[in-house]
Chains A and B, each alone.
Chain A
Amino acid sequence: MMAYSEDHIALAAEYALGTLDAEERAQVETMMSVDKDFTAMVGAWEHKLGVLNQMVGSVEPRPEVWDKIRTATGLAEPQAPLVLPDAPQPPVAPEVSEPAAVVDPSNVIRLSTEARRWRNFAALTTAIAAALVAMIAVGVYQPDLLPEGIRPKPRTQVVEVKTPSAPTPSAQYVAVLQKEGGSPAFILTVEGATKNFWVRRVGASAEPGKSFELWLISDKLQRPRSLGVIGNGDFTARPVLASYDTDTINTATYAVTIEQADGSPDGKPTSAPVFTGKLIETVPPAAPPHSPAR
């Protein structure tokens, strides 16, 4: 790759970060169209920063989106049901899994360095977790219901749930599951309309051979009901809440217990909850725009 000035490098980096204005972005895109090396540099930055998206929660788009994509790509004609041939074994991809970060306890110097690093990490993961909570809160923002003139400026806030009897299609609920006074371990998101829910891990890791199981605890029910074992993936989505009524879902306490690897054997929690939380409704309040940042 040819040598670029620091200005060019910074431009590529900030393009990937996203902080350039519209004109500068157009400039970068022009440069990319004529300079392969510059394109590669931008791509390298996008790749380096792109790993941050591992921490971002998934949100299902509406099914209509796929219809529009099919139309736009000219695939909209009816097709025979898809029967996929067996995929050939995919080529071996770069290893993306995570070897456990094991600290060697016999090495004291290394341990203290590692401890410091972990503290830094903890602070960073906190910042990211905070950004993620904020993100979930904005996911419900649906200003389209209002005419242009009176749309509130985008702004988000999390408030205590007011148990709506009929949730609007866009209503979304979030519970932060944590130890009392502790940091968030899981973030539970429930979509009001479908009662689908998603669980995101933010600060918990099961011991080998154990698993985290999520429970719904409600005074309307005689015993805790399992919502399933929280998978090892970053994100777990399940439809099982659909059998509970909205009021139960909104008022329940959500709890996580530590169970054997594949969950409680008899459908009852075998240990006390480690993390608990209640749902809060995330709503877009109409608030004065440009309120001070703090």
Chain B
Amino acid sequence: MLTPAELVWLIAAVAKGDEAAFERLYAATRAKLFGVVLRILRRQDLAEEVIQEAYVKIWNSAGRFNPGLSSPITWMTSIARNRAIDVVRKRSELSIEEEPAAMEVAADSPDPLARREMTEELKRLLECVGRLEPDRQKLVLLAYYNGWSREQLAAKFETPVNTVKTWLRRSMMDIRECLGL
């Protein structure tokens, strides 16, 4: 993985139409972006379409990337992830997932030293997520990582959609206050 500074430089070059820079940018980021959208879409073909559209958008809008507001990888991932969420929201047939049995694997606490590998920003966010009630922590993480809709979350938590709506909103407001946004 290139450093954020290298990615900033590449995006700046892409904004000027530098094809070689675009190829390097793609090579450096494609697997991350694809991993993010594949988890949400759960279908290789849809994920490939989304990733394709995302990079076309990145090519076309590289000039609008502002390194003062976002990190390059977050900017790129947001483009891809937003597209994935749009697709999944429009496809009602991608229905509720059962929590895979594999999730039971992680029953114990991992070594807290894993913290050392997290960036300060991630630690800070996780501190704030960690202050939510356990169910709501899970709600937020499942929503973010899996791209689940309120309906899917409601089914998962066996609770009315309106309750999920309230929980999500409160959770985000709590996180906002905690982060000082």
Interface size on A, residues (CB 8 A): 113
Complex Cα spacing A122 to B169, Å:
25
The answer on a CB contact under 8 Å between B127 and A137 is no
Separation in Å of the A198 CB from the closest CB of chain B?
9
Partner of A18 from B8, B102, B109, B143 at Cβ < 8 Å: B143
Given contacts A13-B176, A54-B118, A122-B112, A157 and B153 within 8 Å (CB-CB): no
> How many contacts between A and B, using CB within 8 angstroms?
337
Query: Is the beta-carbon distance between A293 and B156 smaller than 8 angstroms?
Result: yes
Residues A90 and B52 in contact, CB atoms below 8 Å apart: no
Contact of B97 among A40, A154, A204 (CB under 8 A): A154
B106 and A170 form a contact (CB under 8 A):
no
Beta-carbon contacts of A84-114 to B below 8 Å, as 1s and 0s? 1001101111101111110000000000000
Residue contact B56 to A73, C-beta cutoff 8 Å: yes
In the complex, what residues of A have CB within 8 A of residue B45's CB?
A: 144
| Cβ contact within 8 Å between B155 and A293 | yes
A143: B residues at CB distance < 8 A: 43
CB within 8 A of A294: which of B6, B9, B48, B99?
B99
**Binary interface profile of B, 69-86, with partner A (CB < 8 Å = 1, else 0)?**
111011001100100011
Q: List residues of chain B with CB within 8 A of the CB of A118.
A: 112, 115
- Bound-state CA distance A290–B95 (Å) is 8
Contact of A93 among B3, B123, B175 (CB under 8 A): B3
- When distances are taken between beta carbons in the complex, the residues of chain B under 8 Å from A127 are 106, 137-138, 141
Interface size on B, residues (CB 8 A): 110
Task: Verify B105–A98 contact, CB threshold 8 A.
Answer: no
> Which of chain B's residues have a CB closer than 8 A to the CB of A117?
127, 130
CA distance in complex: A282, B150 (Å):
27
Given pairs A13-B173, A48-B181, 19 additional interface contacts (CB within 8 A)? A18-B144, A21-B149, A48-B125, A50-B73, A50-B78, A51-B125, A55-B122, A56-B145, A65-B48, A72-B52, A73-B55, A91-B8, A93-B8, A101-B123, A125-B126, A135-B145, A137-B102, A154-B42, A289-B95
* A residues apposed to B, CB below 8 Å: 6, 9-10, 13-14, 16-22, 25, 40, 43-62, 64-66, 68-69, 72-73, 75, 79, 82, 84, 87-88, 90-94, 96-101, 117-139, 141-144, 153-158, 170, 174, 176, 181-185, 201-205, 233-234, 282, 289-294
**18 residue pairs A–B, Cβ–Cβ below 8 Å:** A17-B140, A18-B40, A19-B149, A19-B153, A25-B86, A46-B74, A50-B71, A59-B31, A84-B20, A97-B119, A124-B129, A125-B109, A134-B103, A154-B42, A154-B43, A184-B110, A201-B117, A289-B95
